[in-house]
Homo-oligomer: A and B are copies of this chain.
């Protein structure tokens, strides 16, 4: 039984210029952490990610949701978590502040993730192990399909998971190899050309074959120059992704992306406003065969459904610390599977939680094991930091979702 709850506001200053992009020049990586203290003594930790200011608002909203969990048994809660998720996300008055977006939905992510962490810890299993050993029926009972039924009902999701069962044992080979990573940190926006070049060399030496550069400069020539630097160092076979972090409007994006095509980007990420489904559709058609990726700022399953229906994104970067936590992440992953679109999460959690979720997506859902973003900047702050060696995430073995922070260690 959950005896009491705590919510904590934890913020980390980054080293100079790390984390910077075209829109967010001075981020302070921050977590609104929900802690569910079970009478067994086990603590479930979950969080949402922000860039600093306003993290306290997410904490206050998380406190409101989390208080409703006091006195609940986690096994009973998770047996029908989909219903609880819908109830919380449709809270009579709080709902007005979204619905299903912004501060309240970030808060719901924090609380939801704490539930999954507690569940896995009480079973003594890493989250990926728990999720991959649950029956398809148990999985869909943790999900809320409301407003998705025109594309995916609970019954269809169940059938999809059952269909993927036979080939699971082949896909479980990933547990021997580890999940591939890519290096996000070679080219933060404020880094000099020299530092980008140096970081690319380091990334290759560390075993990465995929890496990302921040673009979206006021001067497009800077973007083009730097993109070609990365391509030159990384070589023609490496996957190089370009990330504009919403900097362009549609016509700017069309013009600049045309010029960026020459360095053969693996994808172009967040070219414009994350709410603009139809602009992305237009741009995707214009840019083909170059592909678009997006999702780190898309708050819920309904908008992802629209992106998928519009064929506006070729990679879905849903983030479980932005949407309503693990539950909605899995729901969106099922939707992507139906549409044949790969899930490549954005990692506001620095990959701690998502290293579990991509294993589940691959093993139980049959998603391709493409690669998972790697950002090392907070490694020293986690009790069990994700370990990436030779460009590959090692399989986490500790119980839970790897989201315990040293700052909150008892």
Chain A interface residues toward B at CB < 8 A:
23-28, 50-54, 56-58, 60-61, 64, 90-106, 146-150, 246, 249-251, 272-279, 282, 297, 299-300, 302-303, 305-306, 309-310
Contacts A61-B54, A306-B276 known; A92 to B26 CB distance under 8 Å?
Answer: yes
Q: What's the Cα separation between A106 and B27 when bound, in Å? A: 23
A250 — which chain B residues lie within 8 A by C-beta? 147, 149-150
Chain B, Cβ-Cβ closest to A306: B278
A98 — which chain B residues lie within 8 A by C-beta? 101-102
Of B54, B100, B246, B275, which one neighbours A93 at CB under 8 angstroms? B54
Cβ-defined contact, B310 with A93, below 8 A? no
Of B58, B102, B275, which one neighbours A303 at CB under 8 angstroms? B275
Cβ-defined contact, B97 with A54, below 8 A? yes
Chain B, Cβ-Cβ closest to A20: B92
Contacts A57-B103, A103-B57, A104-B54 known; A26 to B93 CB distance under 8 Å?
Answer: yes
Cβ-defined contact, A105 with B104, below 8 A? no
A275 — which chain B residues lie within 8 A by C-beta? 100-101, 300, 302-303, 306
A207 to chain B, nearest CB (A): 31
A251 — which chain B residues lie within 8 A by C-beta? 149-150
Contacts A26-B93, A51-B93, A275-B306 known; A103 to B102 CB distance under 8 Å?
Answer: yes
Chain B, Cβ-Cβ closest to A348: B96
Q: What's the Cα separation between A113 and B54 when bound, in Å? A: 21
Cβ-defined contact, A309 with B96, below 8 A? no
A-B contact pairs, 30 of them (CB 8 A): A23-B95, A24-B92, A24-B93, A24-B96, A27-B93, A50-B93, A53-B64, A53-B93, A53-B94, A54-B93, A54-B94, A54-B96, A54-B97, A57-B57, A98-B102, A99-B246, A99-B274, A101-B101, A102-B104, A102-B105, A103-B104, A146-B249, A147-B272, A147-B273, A147-B279, A150-B249, A150-B282, A273-B302, A275-B302, A278-B305
